[in-house]
């Protein structure tokens, strides 16, 4: 009898956490670094090309974060919060109930997952705002110190949020993986 | 909001500031809605049963963000504005939104 190596909900969880969330984390870190590093590029062809790449990177960041948020909320989360049948003692297929059944791990739901329900949406909104500005203003964003400072501030908050919720997701998945 | 003359001859900065300010409004809305819902002051309907109430809360916050963005964009897109107030508002509202979305903060109001 064939045994599937990964269930569909496990694949969705990996897609949500590693491909989309991990990709978004890498992309926002790269965009933040680029935005800081490129401020010294003098106006000209090089700056125009670099600002075009930065705009595309930020658009990709936003797309990845929105995809991670939507897949997490509408695909992985329902599987996580599914209610077990009455009287079931093996809760391994029901992550939320498994976590809540042990006082030592209950915080992974009450703090970690409840934070993960909302924080990533904030990150996606911030990244989208910065991506819009980078796409519309291109080189002007790199050389307008005031605008760039706001963008760097919002991207820094985005990076902190994405890194934080990613870490919480790893902790939850270590204790109660969606398999 | 005071206006200023563009110094570099580029695009007016109003559209950028509208996007930044709206992101702050959206972040704050997300935090405030999660707090009010957790404390029972704002029952938000569930939009997708299997995922629960988070679908209604997040959709409402996204709608507020998009409405704020559209409104501010229409108002500011042709203007060149001072950035200081928007900078403080965007970062402040976002920080406050993050704080209000933290479950330990909800327990302070229960």
Mean pLDDT across A23-44:
92
Q: What is the ipTM of this complex?
A: 0.94
Please give the mean pLDDT across all residues of chain A: 95
Within 8 A of A128 by CB-CB distance, chain B residues are 23
- Check CB contact under 8 Å for A129 and B19: yes
- Check CB contact under 8 Å for A119 and B101: yes
pLDDT of B5 over the 60 cut: no
Confidence of residue A47 (pLDDT cuts 50, 70, 90): confident
Chain CA centroid to CA A48, Å = 29
Angle between helices A114-137 and B84-100 (to 10 degrees): 160
Within 8 A of A132 by CB-CB distance, chain B residues are 19
SS3 content of chain A, % helix, strand, coil (to 5): 80, 0, 20
pLDDT of B3 over the 60 cut: no
Calpha distance B105→A115 (Å, rounded) = 11
pTM here is: 0.94
For residue A156, what are its two tokens? 């820094």
- Within 10 angstroms of residue A9's Cβ, the number of other Cβ atoms is 18
pLDDT of A2 over the 80 cut: no
Please classify residue B82 by burial: count the beta carbons closer than 10 Å to its beta carbon, then call 0-12 exposed, 13-18 middle and 19+ buried.
middle
Predicted pLDDT at B8: 54
Mutate which of A69, A130, A150, A156 to test chain B, going by most B C-beta atoms within 10 A?
Answer: A150
- Check CB contact under 8 Å for B34 and A130: no
Cβ neighbours of residue A163 closer than 8 Å, sequence gap 6 or more: A25
Which of A125, A136, A151 lies nearest to residue B15, judging by beta carbons?
A: A136
- Check CB contact under 8 Å for B10 and A137: yes
Q: Are B77 and B15 in contact (CB under 8 A)?
A: yes
Mean pLDDT across A62-70:
98
């Amino acid at each position: 009898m064939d045994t599937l190596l990964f269930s569909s909900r496990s694949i969705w969880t990996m897609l949500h956490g590693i491909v989309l969330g991990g990709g978004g984390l890498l992309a926002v870190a790269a965009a933040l670094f680029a935005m800081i590093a490129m401020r010294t590029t003098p106006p000209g062809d090089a700056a125009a090309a670099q600002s075009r790449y930065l705009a595309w990177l930020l658009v990709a960041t936003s797309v990845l974060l929105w995809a991670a948020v939507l897949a997490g909320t509408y695909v992985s989360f329902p599987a996580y919060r599914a209610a077990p049948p009455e009287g079931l003692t093996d809760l391994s297929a029901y992550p939320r109930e498994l976590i809540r059944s042990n006082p030592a791990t209950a915080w992974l739901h009450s703090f970690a997952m409840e934070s993960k329900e909302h924080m990533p949406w904030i990150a996606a909104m911030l990244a989208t705002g910065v991506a819009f500005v980078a796409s519309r203003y291109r080189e002007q964003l790199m050389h307008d110190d005031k605008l760039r400072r706001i963008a760097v501030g919002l991207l820094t908050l985005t990076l902190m949020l994405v890194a934080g919720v990613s870490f919480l997701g790893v902790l939850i998945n270590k204790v109660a993986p969606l398999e | 909001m005071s206006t200023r003359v563009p110094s570099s001859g580029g695009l007016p900065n109003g559209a950028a500031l509208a996007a930044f300010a709206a992101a702050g409004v959206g972040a704050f809305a997300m935090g405030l809605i999660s707090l009010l819902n957790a404390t029972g002051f704002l029952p938000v309907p569930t939009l997708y049963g299997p995922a629960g109430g988070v679908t209604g809360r997040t959709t409402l916050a996204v709608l507020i963000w998009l409405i704020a963005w559209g409104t501010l964009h229409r108002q500011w897109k042709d203007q060149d504005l001072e950035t200081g107030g928007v900078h403080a508002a965007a970062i402040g509202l976002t920080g406050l939104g993050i704080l209000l979305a933290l479950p330990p903060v909800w327990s302070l109001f229960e």
